[in-house]
Chain A
């Protein structure tokens, strides 16, 4: 048993650290070993890039690490001074600012001194336009080609016309990559990569769904750490292996009735971005309040179970278009209501992330509708994913504590 307020460590974390260390060192030495590096947005066409033999680097993972290391406040102003507004994505501004100052969080965590230079950059705007602007900056900076998919946005139902559009754009990316690499796409390699992505994503889904148990064996905060392989190693056998290990540990916890939060009394759903620099503090506060944040839209966003080895391009188009962040308010509301039921939560916390409007679902009345329709309390926290200057520690703590008091019948 851990003391109340402490994070319960996951045994597989040591394996994860090694896996990510290897991943970043491989990227660091890619050019020396004659391999090419592609940069990819976190839900961009990673499978296609891997099928072409690229080592794939994800700036969003890098930016999240800047947030975790609380370095945003130092580097965001550097990007602001270079003309990137404090109002836009703080992943972008903290990452660009760190690059301008030639600093990387990879050094402290993995002993890697610099980010890998791109030979090509590939984006998908299914998340937001900021990722395209972010990649455009580096495309100019490294004089590297930029390819990408401009996704149809705010979709209610994922109709065929949308999937056709995205599939055609993926085909175009393939043609562009064939020109850039002067090689043909190895279709069997793409099929294998898509199969590995699917296997990893299914395991990730199973892991997240273990949280439907009471007590939940994992928290949202654990999820934000252990999601790294599904982001950076999608389409790689090592992600599959890692998630088998993690799933086994979660099943052990369920069998032994071990909860991630000792004495779990309340269960919450987290909607919106993590506050990367405050994961530990928030995790400890919730544990102290015997409240487990069991599930989140954010961690669920890397479940792509519509991928099909037999139809890789079209199934990727479907998987990357039906993404939560790419959907209409109506579709998002239905999804959250379904999660509330599935994970049997007592309340929903909405993070209004100042610089991430696309992943802040509080601005068109959603919390009020969820409260009314799901008959559970909702709370809005005003903060940001990486810019801690937009975070008020005392206000947030009081809000969370009062929310728990409300659930306890204050």
Chain B
């Protein structure tokens, strides 16, 4: 008999992710692609990619999440990324946790109790400072790729304060610092530190802090910085970019629901 599978599709602002799991909650396939204009097509592509590794299995149920969750016509239901991150992270860290999810266009602080129940959340205001988009913009100012910026920052030995209350003004601030002769390494580190500070302004990060989201997945320096500032090790799930999709897959497995329209 073919294995019964469950899928979660996270249509994020920057990337679309799919995670397919078994009834035992084990990952059996995944897919990821840059989010383009065709949200439904992108979702289909990552879903097909995730299934390509699994021969002859049927997907019993699909739950979509992320900002494009309502644009996945083949999904059975949708859940917000807030609930899905909560569920996905709590699976790996089954205790009361505070999740800091840094995504392409927003940062969220999500609280989950010891039983995995969502107890509160906050999202950044209508401003991209401190998000993935912010880092992309600043990497252009520093004339490095986003991938290089992380390693550049790790080579810095000096603390530089960057305001980061506004992406555009931070770009201007960077130019002023370059003129002053501050090194790119130090500027890169300052930029990451501003991302951490921005998240810490959103809520009090007491207790066990879990870092997740695509920005965390691609910028490991954030793990070190959060741990240093909070003076304790923060937690990171195995695949931080996929915890939303994984949480959605867990919802797909958990309960049959009527799909929501609209």
Residues of A within 8 A of B (CB): 5, 288, 371, 377, 380, 382, 390-392, 394-395, 398-399, 401-402, 405-406, 409-410
Contacts and interface: CB of A to CB of B under 8 A. Distances in A.
A371 B118 CA distance: 14
Given A288-B262, A395-B106, A410-B87, A405 B122 contact: no
Contacts of A380: 122
Given A398-B81, A405-B79, A390 B118 contact: no
Given A402-B83, A402-B118, 5 more contacts: A377-B119, A391-B126, A405-B118, A406-B118, A409-B117
A382 B126 contact: yes
For the complex of A and B, the 10 pairs showing the least CB-CB separation, nearest first, are A402-B82, A410-B83, A402-B80, A392-B126, A405-B83, A410-B118, A406-B118, A382-B125, A401-B80, A398-B80
Given A380-B122, A410-B87, A410-B118, A398 B67 contact: yes
Given A395-B106, A395-B126, A405 B67 contact: no
7 contacts: A382-B125, A398-B67, A398-B80, A405-B82, A406-B118, A410-B86, A410-B87
Contacts of A405: 79-80, 82-83, 118
Interface string B106-118: 1000000000011
Interface of B: 67, 79-83, 86-87, 106, 117-123, 125-126, 260-262
A406 B126 contact: no
A390 B126 CA distance: 7
Contacts of A409: 117
B142 to A, nearest CB: 28
B82 to A, nearest CB: 4
A394 B79 CA distance: 14
B262 A5 contact: yes
A406 B125 CA distance: 20
- Residue from B80, B86, B121 having most chain A Cβ neighbours under 10 A: B80
Contacts of B80: 398, 401-402, 405
A391 B83 CA distance: 23
A34 B87 CA distance: 69
A382 B125 CA distance: 6
A328 B244 CA distance: 42
A65 to B, nearest CB: 25
B124 to A, nearest CB: 8
Contacts of A410: 79, 83, 86-87, 117-118
A380 B260 CA distance: 24
B79 A377 contact: no
Contacts of B82: 398, 402, 405-406
Nearest to B80: A402
Contact of B67 (A377, A390, A391, A394): A394
- Residue from B87, B122, B126 having most chain A Cβ neighbours under 10 A: B126
Nearest to A383: B126
Contacts of B83: 402, 405-406, 410
Contacts of B261: 5, 288
A378 B126 CA distance: 19
B118 A399 contact: no
Contacts of A392: 126
A318 to B, nearest CB: 38
Contacts of B121: 402, 406
A392 to B, nearest CB: 4
B126 A377 contact: no
Nearest to A407: B118
A408 to B, nearest CB: 9
B97 to A, nearest CB: 15
A401 B84 CA distance: 12
Contacts of B67: 394, 398
B33 to A, nearest CB: 20
Contacts of A288: 260-262
